[in-house]
Amino acid sequence: MTELPSRRLLLVHAHPDDESINNGATMARYAAEGAHVTLVTCTLGERGEVIPRELRHLSGAALGGHRLGELKDAMRALGVTDFRLLGGAGRYCDSGMMGLPDNDDAGCFWQADVDQAAGLLAEVILEIRPQVLVTYDDDGGYGHPDHIQAHRVAMRAVELAAAAGWDIPKVYWNRVPRSVAEEAFARLDTDLAGLPFDKAGALDDVPGVVDDAQVTTAVDGTAHAAAKAAAMRAHATQITVAEPYFALSNELAQPLFTTEYYELVRGERPAGRESDLFAGTGEAS
């Protein structure tokens, strides 16, 4: 295997598009700086709602295949070359929204054996040996079953990898400080008339919003705003972008953040707010 760069970042996400919305600027920044950025996506989002009318005939495996193509285009926009599907394409399928019959599909990610899925992810961890892992909190950010399961699998994989020889120094959960979200929605209210969206979303539409004091880390990706927006546009079945805002299939506008925020949950919490995910690892920018 080719020797990897000294800084190695692993992100674990549920569906194609989650990575670009939550971490696109972070991924583009570290890739541009020469870090090795690895994305593991747990499903192909086969049950996602499709926005463009001309693509609404897509569903199931056909939609999953299309979304894989979108993911490839998004990764090209972010400069990320190492992206994988957990267990390979089709190993786990989208579970649908919480409470739907889709959750009972034996092949869906929600029904996956956590230790088995975590074992597959631990293999990636042992191969890449990342100093940093990023994923969701225990509610998956907003309660989607695949996001919750991605959290469970990622955190269990950290334990399995540590037992097998690679103890990841730092694990982060995606966050947004409440004050930042409130200020962004206040701007959105002013800008809405000039946008291609009829209505604005609400604070509850943003996953991972927490009190400011809970946020340990802010990664300034402003220089990579165009890359993040391009990656989000690549996920055209799921996202409509009108910078600095976007909308999902509910057509409710929300802010597109280019500074991305995190909570350090494994590793020594900093006295102040960090600006680098690798701070304290000996591999800081």
Average pLDDT for 233-252: 97
Q: Is residue 275 part of a domain?
A: no
Q: How far apart are CA 245 and CA 2, in angstroms?
A: 39
Average pLDDT for 140-150: 97
Backbone angles phi, psi at 57, to 5 degrees: -75, -15
Q: With bands split at pLDDT 50, 70 and 90, how would you rate the model's confidence at 282? A: confident
- Residue 243 to residues 23, 56, 208, 232, Cα–Cα distance (Å): 16, 24, 21, 10
Q: How far apart are CA 141 and CA 207, in angstroms?
A: 4
pLDDT at residue 94 tops 90: yes
CATH assignment of the domain containing 17: 3.40.50.10320
- The range of the structural domain enclosing residue 243 comes to 8-266
Average pLDDT for 244-261: 97
Q: Is residue 22 part of a domain?
A: yes
- CA atoms 248, 251, 256, 260: torsion sign: negative
pLDDT at residue 135 tops 80: yes
Question: Which pLDDT tens digit goes with each residue over 190-208?
Answer: 999 999 999 999 999 999 9
Q: Is there a cis peptide before residue 207, judged by omega within 30 degrees of 0?
A: no
Q: Is residue 1 part of a domain?
A: no
Give the residue ranges of the annotated binding site.
Answer: 15, 18, 147
Give the residue ranges of the annotated binding site for Zn(2+).
Answer: 15, 18, 147
Q: With bands split at pLDDT 50, 70 and 90, how would you rate the model's confidence at 285? A: confident
Q: Is residue 271 part of a domain?
A: no
Predicted pLDDT of residue 1? 55
Predicted pLDDT of residue 2? 73
Question: Which pLDDT tens digit goes with each residue over 35-49?
Answer: 999 999 999 999 999
Predicted pLDDT of residue 283? 85
Count structural domains, the chain: 1
